[in-house]
Structure 1
Amino acid sequence: MDPKPKKDQPIAAILLARAHDPDEATRIFTEKVQQRPLFLAPSSPPPSDARAARRRAQEKKKQQRKKALKPRPLSSTQRRRLGLYDVPRAGQRHALFEPLHQLWLGYVREILGSEAYTGGEGAAAKLASADFHGAGVEVVRSGCVSRVGIKGIVVKDSKFAFEIVTRRDRVKLVPKEGTVFRFEVPVPDLRPKEGGGQAQEMSRMVFEIHGEQFQFRSADRASRKFRSHFSKKL
C-alpha cells in the first residue's frame, strides 16, 4: 500500500507518488516541478501607458463604428438596374443640351490647337483620346442604312455606342461599330483681309471619325496612348 501522504505535501508530489516509486517520484518532483521556472506575462499595460491604451481602444471603436455606418458603393449592375445612367424622358430635350454643346466646342478647340486647321495624324491622335459628351455629330455612313442621317448632341459616350438626342427631342442609340460620324468645329478664319489684318469670321472645320477606333470608355481613352496603324475595316 502507498504510504499516507503528508498533510503539507504538494498535490503534484502526491500524484507522482501514486504513479512512480518514492525515489523516482521525488526526483521528478524536484527536477521538473520544484526547480522549473514559471514565466509570467503581463495581462495589462503598465500603469504609465494605461491612459494611452484606453485612448487607442476608443479610437479603434470609433473607426469600426464609422466603417459599419459607411454605405458600400453601388456596383455596375446595381447602377444599371436603378437607371442612374439613363436619360429621363423629361430630360430628353435638344435645347437642354445646347449649352453643353457650346462647352464641348470650346473644349475641342483647346485640345486641337493649331491641328484644327491642318488635321492629319496630330489631330487624329488628339481626337482619339477626347471626350465626346456634348459633341454635335451626324451619322454619314453605317452598316445599317436607317441610321444614316441621325444628327444631334451626344448625351452618353459609352464603350460601344453613342446616345444622341436629336432636334425632335428623341434619344437614339447608335452603335460605334461599322459607323462613321461627322462633326464640325467652328474656328476663327485666319485668312487676311483685303485691306490688311485678319478676318473675324468663323470658318467650319469638318472631321469624320470611325466608330471602331473609339470602342473604349471616355475615361479610358483619356489615359490611353494610341498608335497610327492601318485598319482593315476602313
Structure 2
Amino acid sequence: MDKKQKQKEQGIAQVLLARAHSPDEANRIYTEKIQQRPLFLAPSSPPPADARERRRRERQKKKDLRKKALKPKPLSAKQRRKLGVYEVPKQGQKYATFEPLHNLWVGYIREILGNEIYTGGEGSAAKLSSADFHGAEVEVVRSGCVSRVGIKGIVIKDSKFAFEIITRKNQLKLVPKEGTIFRVELPAPTPEKAADQDQDQEMKDVATEVKDVEEEPPKMVFEIHGDQFMYRSSDRATKKFKAHFLRKL
C-alpha cells in the first residue's frame, strides 16, 4: 500500500525512470532533464489598453475570418469531372477550330529540333519524348483494337493514358496509348527556302513560276509507342527517357 502511495506522489515520469535506471540515476535524470527543464511559451501581444482598442481588434478579427471564408476552394477531381471542366463542347468539336493550334505546334516542334529535323538521331528522339503534343497531327498505325487503326487527326488533349483526337470529319476520338503506335509526319522546311528567306518576294514569285511541277516538301516521320508514352505532358518535360530493349517490338 505504501509503495502504491509513493508511486502516486512521485508521478508517472519518476516511476518509469525508476524501472529503467537505478534510484540515484533516475533522480538525477528527473532533476536535470525534466524538473528543471524550461517551458518555452510563444510570445503574445499585450492586452488592449482600453475597450475601444479591444472592439477594434475584434472587428478586424471578424473581417479576416470573413475574407478567409469567402476565398473559393479549388475544385476536387471528382467535381471537375462532374462539371465537365476539361470536356470540349459539341459546338467546339470541329477540325477547322484546331488547325491554328496545329500550325502553332509545327512551329514549336521545328524550333525545338532545329537542324536535327533533317538528321534525326538520339538527340531528336530525346527532345521529342519531352515535347508537348497538344496540336500534333497523329495517325494510328497499329493497335490492339483493329477498329482504331487509321484514325487520324489533331491531338486536342494529351492525358496520361490516352490521346483525344479530332478528325477531319469533326469526330472526337479517345484513343488509349496502351498497345497503340502513333505516326507523326512533320513537314520540314527545305534548305533552299531557309536560305532564301532574305530575298525579295518578287524573286520568289519568279522562281515559283519557272517550276512546272512542284515537289512534295520533305517530311520527318516518326512513331510514338504508346506503352512507353503513358505520362502527362508536364511530367514528360522533366523526365529523362533512356533507350532500352523492348520485348514487345
Question: Given the two structures, how large is their TM-score scaled by the length of structure 2?
Answer: 0.67
Structure in which a larger fraction of residues adopt helix = 2
Provide runs of 4+ in structure 1 moved above 6 Å. Answer: 53-56, 197-201
CA distances 1:5-48 after superposition (whole Å, capped 9, x unpaired): xxxxxxxxxxxxxxxxxxxxxxxxxxxxxxxxxxxxxx953749
Gaps of 5+ in 1: 1-42
CA distances 1:166-189 after superposition (whole Å, capped 9, x unpaired): 111001111111111111112221
Correspondence 1:104 to 2:105: yes
Corresponding residue of 2:185: 184
Q: 1:56 to 1:133 in 2, by over 3 A?
A: farther
Larger radius of gyration: 1
In structure 1, what is the Cα distance between the partners aligned to 2:57 and 2:189? 64
Q: Verify the 8 A CA contact 1:128 1:213 in the aligned structure 2.
A: no
Question: Given the two structures, how large is their TM-score scaled by the length of structure 1?
Answer: 0.71
Correspondence 1:151 to 2:166: no
Q: Which amino acid aligns with 1:223?
A: T
In structure 1, what is the Cα distance between the partners aligned to 2:140 and 2:95? 17
In structure 1, what is the Cα distance between the partners aligned to 2:238 and 2:142? 28
Correspondence 1:210 to 2:216: no
In structure 1, what is the Cα distance between the partners aligned to 2:155 and 2:67? 40
Report the more deviating stretch, 112-121 or 171-180: 112-121
Q: 1:59 to 1:120 in 2, by over 3 A?
A: farther
Count of equivalent residues: 186
In structure 2, what is the Cα distance between the partners aligned to 1:59 and 1:133? 48
In structure 2, what is the Cα distance between the partners aligned to 1:156 and 1:142? 19
Corresponding residue of 1:88: 89
CA distances 1:45-64 after superposition (whole Å, capped 9, x unpaired): 3749x96x877665544332
Q: 1:80 to 1:46 in 2, by over 3 A?
A: closer
In structure 1, what is the Cα distance between the partners aligned to 2:57 and 2:114? 56
Q: Percent identity?
A: 67
Q: Verify the 8 A CA contact 1:132 1:157 in the aligned structure 2.
A: yes
Q: Which amino acid aligns with 1:113?
A: G
